[in-house]
């Protein structure tokens, strides 16, 4: 089985996929693409439905046997299943449920907020020819909205609240433990992936959160995470953003 991982800078969903790959001691052809320029839509697998319509937005693509696999939490679950390293999900059903439920709340609430705030601070830019290739109309619209440079105040305020809420949740969860689920899991990777770049953008959310600060430091100290971060081609990968999941259409 050969695997190719098309990834962006090690931030957001690309971070999760890369770190999971290294945590599991797996080999893959690593191909860096500029997600912030829409390069994913130029891949040969771009029009496969699971790539074109990925809810995650501009995330990495793991190609296995010709099939493009997207959505970083599920890519990480796949790598957890096929790799040799320590489990990235607890071994008991209860722990696995908690990990998946945690990730669901993270990708549904914190991730869209982080992507919006990240794209405002560090705008991605795709040219018209790349935008035309995007298979998902609503993802293309997110690109176009970001391109205007105009961000609604209520969405920005709500996004800051969602980041603060996620950090509160993390701080509470880390009471008496080193990792969110007790043992190191995909929940740590995915939570770090979306929130590491928020430390500078929403500093008030992290003020006084000593357990969260120590947890961020612990994650950065992991060997596999170091390997993922070493792939950065910029000084600060947490300043690299592309359109992410959409903000809940219901409000």
Partner 1 sequence: MGDVTLYHWEPNANSGKPMLALMEKGVAFNSHYLDLLNFDQHKPDYLAINPQGTIPAMKHGNLVLTESTAIMEYVDEAFPGPKLMPDDPQDRWRIRWWMKFMDQWLGPSFSMIGWSIFIGPSVRSKDPEELKAAIERIPLPERRVAWRKAIYGLFGEDEMKESQRRVAVGIGMLEKALSKRAWLASDQYSLADVNGFNLAYALPLSQPSLSNDELTPNIMRWLRSIYARPASKACWATGRTGMVKRVAILEQPHIGREHVS
Q: Where on the chain is the footprint of partner 1 (CB under 8 A)?
A: 49-50, 53-55, 64-65, 67, 69-71, 73-75, 77-78, 81-82, 93-94, 96-97, 100-101, 104-105, 108, 137-138, 245, 248-251
> 3-class secondary structure for 173-204?
HCCCCCCCECECCHHHHHHHHHHCCHHHHCHH
C-alpha 135/C-alpha 131 separation (Å) is: 9
Q: Which helix (H) or strand (E) holds 121?
A: helix 111-121
Q: Return the number of the residue (66 or 203) whose C-beta is nearest partner 1.
A: 66
C-alpha 247/C-alpha 188 separation (Å) is: 22
Phi/psi of residue 31, nearest 5 degrees: -120, 115
Q: How far is the CB of 35 from partner 1 (least distance, A)?
A: 19
Q: How far is the CB of 251 from partner 1 (least distance, A)?
A: 3
Q: How far is the CB of 78 from partner 1 (least distance, A)?
A: 4
Q: Return the number of the residue (67 or 204) whose C-beta is nearest partner 1.
A: 67
Kindly report the CA angle at 9 between 97 and 52, in degrees rounded to 5? 65
Q: Return the number of the residue (95 or 147) whose C-beta is nearest partner 1.
A: 95
Label the pairing between strands 3-7 and 61-64. Answer: antiparallel
Q: How far are the Cα atoms of 14, 180, 219, 244 from residue 83, in angstroms, in the given order?
A: 18, 22, 20, 27
Q: How far is the CB of 190 from partner 1 (least distance, A)?
A: 13
By residue count, the chain amounts to: 251
Q: Return the number of the residue (17 or 216) whose C-beta is nearest partner 1.
A: 17
Q: Return the number of the residue (187 or 229) whose C-beta is nearest partner 1.
A: 187
Phi/psi of residue 30, nearest 5 degrees: -100, 120
Q: How far is the CB of 233 from partner 1 (least distance, A)?
A: 28
Q: Return the number of the residue (79 or 216) whose C-beta is nearest partner 1.
A: 79
Task: Read off the DSSP letter of residue 147.
Answer: H
Q: How far is the CB of 229 from partner 1 (least distance, A)?
A: 25
């Amino acid at each position: 089985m050969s695997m190719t991982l098309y990834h962006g800078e090690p931030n957001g969903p690309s971070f999760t996929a890369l770190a999971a790959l290294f945590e599991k001691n797996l080999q893959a052809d690593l191909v860096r693409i500029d997600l912030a320029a829409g390069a994913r839509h130029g891949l040969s697998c771009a029009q496969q439905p699971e790539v074109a319509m990925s809810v995650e937005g501009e995330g990495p693509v793991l190609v296995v046997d010709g099939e493009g696999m997207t959505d970083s939490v599920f890519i990480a679950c796949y790598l957890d299943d096929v790799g040799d390293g320590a489990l990235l999900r607890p071994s008991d059903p209860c722990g696995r449920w908690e990990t998946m439920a945690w990730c669901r709340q993270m990708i549904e609430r914190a991730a869209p907020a982080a992507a919006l705030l990240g794209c405002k601070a560090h705008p991605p830019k795709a040219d018209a020819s790349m935008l035309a290739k995007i298979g998902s109309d609503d993802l293309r619209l997110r690109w176009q909205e970001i391109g205007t440079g105009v961000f609604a105040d209520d969405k920005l305020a709500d996004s800051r609240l969602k980041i603060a809420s996620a950090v509160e949740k993390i701080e509470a969860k880390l009471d008496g433990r080193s990792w969110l689920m007790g043992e190191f899991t995909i929940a740590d990777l995915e939570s770090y992936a979306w929130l590491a770049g928020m430390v500078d953008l929403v500093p008030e959310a992290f003020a006084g959160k000593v357990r969260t600060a120590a947890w961020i430091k612990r994650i950065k100290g992991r060997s596999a995470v170091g390997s993922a971060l070493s792939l950065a081609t910029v000084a600060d990968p947490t300043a690299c953003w592309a359109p992410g999941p959409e903000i809940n259409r219901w409000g």
